[in-house]
Amino acid sequence: MSLHLYSHPLASFCHKVLIALYENDTPFQAHLVDLADPAGKADFLERWPVGKMPVLRDEARGRTVPETSIIVEYLQQHYPGPRALLPDDADARLDVRLWDRFFDLYVQAPMQKIVADFMLKKKDQDDLGVSQARRTLQTAYDMIERQLADDWICGADFTLVDCAAAPALFYAEIVEPFHRHHPRLMAYLTRLMARPSYERVLFEARPYFHLYPFHELLPPGWVQR
């Protein structure tokens, strides 16, 4: 097996890459990274000292590839499948890259700020930062609602953007719900969750959802202990 993915089933950024892999049935070996385990953490940091997941290792080409968007583009370049997740047209590709960054920076990042702050002791919590994160999410929701004119963010084709959007919106709906005031956005999340690639990712995550800080807000039956 040439491709090795170092990730965790709960991590939203890991979901993004897993969706891309499953969209094209790309064979890979999964390695679960447990940063709470000193030996596992040390092994992972040797591969990528920044310590952020996921990381792809391509043994055949001798390359270690970090960063989700770069991983997906690397896969398309060197291990292409039937579904191109970045379009050939330069302008369309630029739109996909723009909205991919949008979801990472303005949905994923503030969502993770809320989750991370919740896990801190009360005296260490950043109330102002969390309020700003919630405002950023609300602005992002409004912009996505306006952008949604088709089934997917950048038109009729499922792309890298939608790989990024699925986990970002799944977790964001839990910590800062949007379903009441953003019907197109909620319908979009419903389509994403029905996508076979993301259904598979969520199914694989279910045994770990009890570790998620907001697990009590997940739909009934999703948390397995």
Domain ranges across the chain: 90-195
The confidence score (pLDDT) of residue 225 equals 58
Phi, psi for 10 (deg, rounded to 5): -90, -20
Q: How distant, in Å, are the alpha carbons of 22, 33, 155, 208 from that of 218?
A: 24, 23, 30, 12
Name the DSSP letter for residue 155: B
The confidence score (pLDDT) of residue 172 equals 97
Distance CA 2, CA 205 (A): 24
User: What would the CATH number be for the domain defined by 90-195?
Assistant: 1.20.1050.10
The confidence score (pLDDT) of residue 224 equals 64
The confidence score (pLDDT) of residue 223 equals 72
The confidence score (pLDDT) of residue 222 equals 78
Burial of 71 (0-12, 13-18, 19+ CB in 10 A): buried
pLDDT per residue, tens digit, the chain (225 aa), is 799 999 999 999 999 999 999 999 999 999 999 888 888 889 899 999 999 999 999 999 999 999 999 999 999 999 999 999 999 999 999 999 999 999 999 999 999 999 999 988 888 988 999 999 999 999 999 999 999 998 999 999 999 999 999 999 999 999 999 999 999 999 999 999 999 999 999 999 999 999 999 999 997 777 765
Name the DSSP letter for residue 52: P
